[in-house]
Amino acid sequence: MSYLRKYNGKIKLNYFQVGIGSIILTGLVLPLIIKNNYLIHLVFMSLLFGVLAVSLNFAIGYCGLANLAHGTFFGLGAYVTALLALNFSTPFYVNLILGGLFASIFGILLGIPTLRLKGVFLALVSIGFTQIIRIIQLNWVELTRGPMGLPGIPAAKILNFQFTIVAYCYYILFLLIITLTISWRIKNSKIGRAFFAIKIDPLAASSIGVNIVYYKILAYVISSFIAGSAGSIYAHYVSFISPDTFTLNDSITILSMVILGGAGTIFGPLIGAMFLVLIPELFRFVDLYRMIFIGSFMVVGVILNDGTPGDFLKLKLQNLKQQVSAYFSKGSESL
Amino acid sequence: MFLQQFINGLSMGIMYALMAIGYSMVFGVLYFINFAHGSISMVGAYMTWYLLMIIDVGYPIAIIGGLLTAMFLGMIIEKVGYLPLRRAPRLSLLVVSLGFSFIIEISVQLIWGTEAQYMPPMIPINNYYIMNAKFNSLQIGVLFISFVLMVLLYLLIQKTKIGIVFRAVALDKDTSGLMGVNVNKVISLLFATGSIIGAISAIMVAVYYNSVYSTLGVSIGMKGFTAVILGGIGSIPGAVIGGIIIGILESLGGAYISTAYKDGIAFILLIIILLVRPAGLLGKEIEKEG
């Protein structure tokens, strides 16, 4: 994709439309033709993690904020939804918005104090943040029932139609499309340019008049809002959540989806998410092997990419080209 | 009561401090938090348990075996994972180290199971009292070993040639390379030293709590890097002070506030220190970061 973007200005405009069109088509058709519920569940999960990875990309890929608390925002949205649905039986679309809002409040809470921090330090604070939220979830038993979790969250329904698994797929597909569109719109706007400027050099960005505070907080708000909304959908879908539903490991997995897929690209995180959701399913028979796979994928993938995704392949291609041309030139010499 | 909690906290804190030293050494040179460090140390403790309880070779050999395992594991991970990423963004190193910590932890669970294993005390446990505060021979042993280790490490870094090279590489990798230092070898050696110290800490924690389990590394590791941040990143005395402060505050917090929120104290402290003084108590401003 980046190849196209680099060499042809016109294709740049089209590839998003082509990509999103094929995602919509696949997302609409796939749940209908698959009859196996478990496979539909996998479609749902890859779309869900796609939403999470694409939204984390706003913070990491666009703005350079090493946020390791994305799973926690997701969890906060899910908890708010669960509590609202259980105690006040609010409809699902209200929960979607309120879950997102609640998560984005925490996004601001994490964002404001950490404006000065970057890189590894920000990652550490966000880890601390996830642990504090987790400890609160575990110990505030009156509200969250602690480690027992919240069972029996009612399914989303419109009038009398209760959401089926296919309906949930469409629901999360809808959110994914919105997220990707936001991603596309941001990237090609003033906001996106400000984000990238902050990522590359905050000092230079501020000296040419980019309001760093505003844009950093904006990145947190957008990404945590979408994560919270995804959490809301997930809570309705699984009907049981506990502090173990979203651990630090999930945040790390989402982060590696973004890094492996390509931080800062539009469809990269989605592809990374599908990869890390679907491929480990081959190792489904033992859950532990799945984590080993994810771990090795993180190690091997990043090393191959040498940190900057795409570079490795580009380099290989260049080497190949050089070798091929060297081979031919040598051939012509000997002839 | 206060004195009692203080003693417990001190002996816990000094083990956090040892763990923190490993993080700090790596950060001083490569500017990232090596998340696999806790897991590497845990493998050292597991290997000691395995040699001691299953193969039954006696404590001294078991400990040496555990330390060597951790040392080689640390060096291999550095060679495989971090060497190719010297010029990569620090976030990539972070992801790789998290990946390694996944792999190690799950492998240990696959090999030795998920349940906690019994680790016998190394020395007979006797109780002593100062003004109603009880402390035992294990705590004295922990304090003594840690103190000796820290003095040795201080001498190593300040007085020997290897120490000079360590400091040179931490100060400027490129220049020390130009001066004829084999930087990659030094970094490898650094990982070996750090892993051994981390493994000693993990073994002591295992003996102290009579058990060894696969998440041991992560749980003390979390406290370890909090201690590094608190004390000032890249500064070894800072790591020691940070570890001790966290141990004591946790112990006091557990006694006076709530045991449920005990584990949160370290993280709240972490966030406060990063907000108020990101360089830590003894650290200097980090400029090379990204």
Which pLDDT band, with edges at 50, 70 and 90, does A167 fall under? confident
The token duo for A40 is: 């539909």
- Tell me the chain B residues in contact with residue A139 when contact means C-beta distances shorter than 8 Å: 258, 260-261
Mean pLDDT of chain A: 79
Mean pLDDT of chain B: 85
* Beta strand residue intervals within A102-152, DSSP E: none
Given CB atoms, is A109 within the 8 Å cutoff of chain B? Answer: no
Which site among A72, A120, A135, A137 would you substitute to test the B interface, given the most B Cβ atoms closer than 10 Å to its Cβ? A120
Q: Does A310 have pLDDT greater than 50?
A: no
Which pLDDT band, with edges at 50, 70 and 90, does A328 fall under? low
Given CB atoms, is A123 within the 8 Å cutoff of chain B? Answer: yes
pLDDT digits 0-9 by tens, B12-23: 899 899 898 888
Which pLDDT band, with edges at 50, 70 and 90, does A333 fall under? very low
Q: Does B206 have pLDDT greater than 80?
A: yes
Given CB atoms, is A248 within the 8 Å cutoff of chain B? Answer: no
| Ranges A43-57, A81-95, A151-165, B95-109: which has the least confidence | A151-165
Q: Where are the alpha helices (DSSP H) in chain B?
A: 2-30, 36-49, 59-77, 90-112, 137-159, 161-171, 173-178, 183-208, 216-231, 236-256, 262-276
The answer to whether A139 and B261 are in contact (CB under 8 A) is yes
The reply to whether A285 falls in a domain is no
- Tell me the chain B residues in contact with residue A109 when contact means C-beta distances shorter than 8 Å: none
Which pLDDT band, with edges at 50, 70 and 90, does B199 fall under? very high
Measure in Å the smallest separation between the Cα of B85 and chain A Cα atoms: 6
Residue among A135, A252, A308 minimizing CB distance to B264: A135
CB contact under 8 A, A307 and B85: yes
Q: Which of residues 17-76 of A touch B (CB under 8 A)?
A: 60, 66
A104-124 burial, b for 16+ CB within 10 Å, e for fewer? bebbeebbebbbebbbbbbbb
The pLDDT value recorded for residue A114 is 74
DSSP state of B135: E
The pLDDT value recorded for residue A1 is 44
As for the ipTM of the complex, it is 0.77
Q: Does A9 have pLDDT greater than 70?
A: no
pLDDT digits 0-9 by tens, A79-113: 888 888 888 877 888 888 888 899 999 888 888 87
CB contact under 8 A, B289 and A135: no
The pLDDT value recorded for residue A180 is 87
Of B287, B164, B205, B196, nearest in space to B16 by CA: B205
CB contact under 8 A, A114 and B91: no
Q: Does A25 have pLDDT greater than 60?
A: yes
The reply to whether A121 falls in a domain is yes
* Beta strand residue intervals within A64-218, DSSP E: 157-158, 161-162
Average pLDDT over residues A116-142: 80
- Give the chain A residue whose CA is nearest to the CA of B219: A131
Specify which of A246-260, B87-101, B150-164 reaches the highest per-range mean pLDDT: B150-164
Q: Which domain holds residue A97?
A: 2-259
The pLDDT value recorded for residue A335 is 41
The reply to whether A120 falls in a domain is yes
pLDDT digits 0-9 by tens, B47-68: 999 998 888 888 888 999 999 9
Residue among B88, B107, B260 minimizing CB distance to A292: B107
Average pLDDT over residues A278-305: 75
Q: 10 Å Cβ neighbour count for A274?
A: 20
The answer to whether B19 and B224 are in contact (CB under 8 A) is yes
The pLDDT value recorded for residue B42 is 92
The answer to whether A257 and A273 are in contact (CB under 8 A) is yes
- Give the chain A residue whose CA is nearest to the CA of B279: A121
The pLDDT value recorded for residue B192 is 92
Q: 10 Å Cβ neighbour count for A132?
A: 21
The pLDDT value recorded for residue B98 is 86
The reply to whether A171 falls in a domain is yes
Of B163, B182, B185, B173, nearest in space to B79 by CA: B185
Of A237, A65, A76, A72, nearest in space to A143 by CA: A76
Tokens 């580009």 label which residue?
A314
pLDDT digits 0-9 by tens, B147-166: 999 999 989 988 999 888 98
Q: When comparing pLDDT for A219 and A311, which is higher?
A: A219
CA B254, distance to chain mean position in Å, is 22
Residue among A125, A135, A259 minimizing CB distance to B95: A259
pTM here is 0.81
- Give the chain A residue whose CA is nearest to the CA of B99: A295
Q: Does A142 have pLDDT greater than 70?
A: yes
The DSSP bridge partners found for residue B136 are B127
CB contact under 8 A, A259 and B109: no
- Give the chain B residue whose CA is nearest to the CA of A286: B110
Of A62, A134, A123, A101, nearest in space to A231 by CA: A101
- CA A46 to CA A42: how far, in whole Å? 6
The token duo for A39 is: 């496979």
The pLDDT value recorded for residue B68 is 94
Residue among A118, A124, A288 minimizing CB distance to B289: A118
- CA A155 to CA A82: how far, in whole Å? 10
**pLDDT above 90 covers what percent of chain B?**
17
Average pLDDT over residues B198-218: 88
Measure in Å the smallest separation between the Cα of A75 and chain B Cα atoms: 18
Which pLDDT band, with edges at 50, 70 and 90, does B286 fall under? low
pLDDT digits 0-9 by tens, B244-261: 998 988 888 888 877 777
Given CB atoms, is A139 within the 8 Å cutoff of chain B? Answer: yes
Q: Does B188 have pLDDT greater than 80?
A: yes
CATH of the domain at A121: 1.10.3470
The DSSP bridge partners found for residue A230 are none
Residue among B106, B270, B275 minimizing CB distance to A288: B106
The answer to whether B236 and B24 are in contact (CB under 8 A) is yes
Cα B128 to Cα B17, B125, B135, B204, B208: the distances in Å are 24, 10, 5, 20, 16
Measure in Å the smallest separation between the Cα of B97 and chain A Cα atoms: 8
Non-local (6+) Cβ contacts of A249 within 8 A are A71, A291, B102
Q: Does B122 have pLDDT greater than 60?
A: yes
The reply to whether A136 falls in a domain is yes
Q: What are phi and psi of B212, to 5 degrees?
A: -130, 135
The answer to whether B250 and B50 are in contact (CB under 8 A) is no
The answer to whether A96 and A230 are in contact (CB under 8 A) is no
Measure in Å the smallest separation between the Cα of B141 and chain A Cα atoms: 31
Which pLDDT band, with edges at 50, 70 and 90, does B71 fall under? very high
Q: Does A18 have pLDDT greater than 80?
A: no
Q: Does domain B2-276 have CATH number 1.10.3470?
A: yes
- CA B206 to CA B209: how far, in whole Å? 5
Question: Number of structural domains, chain A?
Answer: 1
For chain B, the structural domain boundaries read 2-276
The reply to whether A232 falls in a domain is yes
Measure in Å the smallest separation between the Cα of A131 and chain B Cα atoms: 7
Measure in Å the smallest separation between the Cα of B76 and chain A Cα atoms: 13
The pLDDT value recorded for residue B69 is 93
- CA A156 to CA A85: how far, in whole Å? 9
CB contact under 8 A, B33 and A116: no
Q: Does B74 have pLDDT greater than 90?
A: yes
- Mapping DSSP onto H, E and C, the string for A178-244 reads HHHHHHHHHHCCHHHHHHHHHHHCHHHHHHCCCCHHHHHHHHHHHHHHHHHHHHHHHHHHHCCECHH
Which site among B34, B274, B286 would you substitute to test the A interface, given the most A Cβ atoms closer than 10 Å to its Cβ? B274
CB contact under 8 A, B91 and A307: yes
Q: Does A273 have pLDDT greater than 80?
A: yes
Non-local (6+) Cβ contacts of A65 within 8 A are A59, A118, A122, A216, A219, A220
CB contact under 8 A, B95 and A256: yes
